Structure 1
């Protein structure tokens, strides 16, 4: 039997009469990797804000471990859910080590200082994310890809059960995109992490997510495996363009090609 960590039940979100989400429902099993895909304005980022309790739904419920996310203590929720946006970490003049250490904040009591255990955890995570050589550099001297790796390291020392990624590779070149997603995949497998990521690149979503949820105009069009979702007719109806479906030469997962010239 699946261990359901997160449940989205008939969630609707309206702002000034405009519907951003309309009756969205799905479950997220522990240890799974879910990709939210769909065109701009589909409601993906809005849904992520509701899952993290940053905003409240107009109706419906989102439960994390059978408790509504709005009823969780903010600090307790931050111990178990980490959020990483496309902007990642701002380029502040702060050392990489100190930026990553900030991920321990939700676990500290009032006026409590970090312990040797916290510092060792940061060292271990820096090694895992290949950032040890950069730990004394300042964030504002790093590239976008390096800063995004620091953001993941900061999330890792938070030791969450659920990681929310909102277009984490948007501003990165293809090399850094792959490095970031491989890093998340390794973390997921190592710690049985649950991951929900908003992805625009359908090919990367197909490679790195076990289940895809296709959204359009605030609704779930269909959810399923990449075999079920990366379908020419289905994608044409949502994206209004005709993709050619091919197979990845190594992983054999479905991939799309666009354009007829």
Structure 2
């Protein structure tokens, strides 16, 4: 009986030992895979910045959630990816290079030449000088008159305390304050105050200006994604968007078209 017990105990120890070794191998493989994948993401971020002629000192933050990365890769996808990228924005006159600060959470991102995320939530912090250039560009392109670029909207101030964007029109001839919000998946701007030569404008005129500015903001920053939240902080606007089955090539193409439109002035008229 003692020999039987001893043999059974030895076999159990061998099995446990094998399982421990396998667990260590899996953990090492998981650690190595996470390190390698995070390294690739960071290198891609730096390569993109360098392509724009931008030197970045701050590293992006990359994590992969609690689900084992190695199991997801076996299915051809990254189960979860959480990415925070610092701002690489550089604004020179009406030319924008780089990207604003962003936090992106993705689930079920396929690993292929045409990656698609099953679900994505992204928050982008857009500074007021970026807003100003994009609004001015939108006005110039819509009108076809480049000289209007720096004439209509001449300044934008993001006021975190009151939660509004203060637009200066015509170098101070008129002002309008707009409170942005998310409604039905889109950006909505509500006019809270407007003046012309220091006097309040009629409600109809205020609404007309508000609708024009709302259209410009909607076209610049929404794309095919759903707007979930818009928050004004001092000096910037934080916009949270979400989407299902997000195709990154298509999204990158949309962003590139927006950047190209900002960099290429409207034809003179």
Shorter-chain TM-score bucket reads under 0.3
Point out the structure with the larger strand share: 2
Larger Rg: 2
TM-score by length of 2: 0.24
